[in-house]
Amino acid sequence: MADEKTGAKPGINPSANGPLIVRRLQHLRNSKGERLETRGVVALCRCGGSANKPFCDGTHARIGFKDAHSADASADRTQPYEGQGVTILDNRFLCAHIGACTDGLAAVFRYGQEPWIDPDAGPPEQVCEVIRRCPSGALAYALGGAGARGTVERDYEREPAITVSKDGPYFVVGGIALACETWGREASREHYALCRCGKSKRKPFCDGAHWEAGFKDEKN
């Protein structure tokens, strides 16, 4: 949704070694569903140290936060899992390890097994529904099974919004423009997850490092 006064759309600009500068966003909520003040322009913490999360309080400068992208790009590839009714496409490089897939449909998304995806172990419509909950864009789908790559669904029609997830990243939906040159291969521009613990190797994106870091945000 564009700004009602100017017609301009929301945007996110990761400042150098500093916060995410978010402009013209109308919908910012925490994990409890509470609406947070946006004020036209807000600075969201991504160093993990702010005492006023999710907003920046300048801690990044004091602790020497660096936003370098150090992930191994050779892992950036999409693996198709072809089923009878749906083909699931997975790029582990993009995964934020939130668990929406394994928690939502364990028979299809089989944590700890190889292959870890069995597209025929659940109804295609249910598989698609779970994939649409993937916050990072690591998963996509194509209906019709084998050879259906030409109809891949990875972008959905949603209102621009950011959700501050519980002890995890920012979930961005609705095609909010992100000033970034390190998008992964075939990554969705409609939805993605941005690091706020400060430990991801894929900054500005989340790579699940908040789990190992023990990142906590009790307020949100």
Say whether pLDDT at 145 is over 80: no
**Whole-number pLDDT of residue 149:** 54
Average pLDDT, the chain: 93
**Whole-number pLDDT of residue 119:** 95
- Range 151-158 average pLDDT: 88
Look-up of token digits 């972008």: 155
- Alpha helices, DSSP H, located in the chain: 59-63, 100-104, 124-131, 209-213
Chain-centre distance for alpha carbon 36: 19
Residue 170 CA to residue 87 CA, distance in Å, equals 28
Categorize the per-residue pLDDT at 39 as very low, low, confident or very high, splitting at 50, 70 and 90: confident
- Give per-residue pLDDT as tens, 4-33: 555 578 999 999 999 999 999 999 999 999
Categorize the per-residue pLDDT at 211 as very low, low, confident or very high, splitting at 50, 70 and 90: very high
**What is the DSSP code string of 148-180?**
-GGGEE-------EEEE-TTS-EEEES--EE--
CA atoms within 13 A on the CB side of 23: 12
- Determine the topology of domain 74-153 in CATH: Alpha-Beta Plaits (3.30.70)
Check whether the bond before 54 is cis (ω within 30° of 0).
yes
- Range 155-182 average pLDDT: 96
- Range 71-98 average pLDDT: 94
**Whole-number pLDDT of residue 45:** 98
Categorize the per-residue pLDDT at 55 as very low, low, confident or very high, splitting at 50, 70 and 90: very high
pTM of this prediction? 0.93
Say whether pLDDT at 146 is over 60: no
- Range 186-195 average pLDDT: 96
Check whether the bond before 160 is cis (ω within 30° of 0).
no
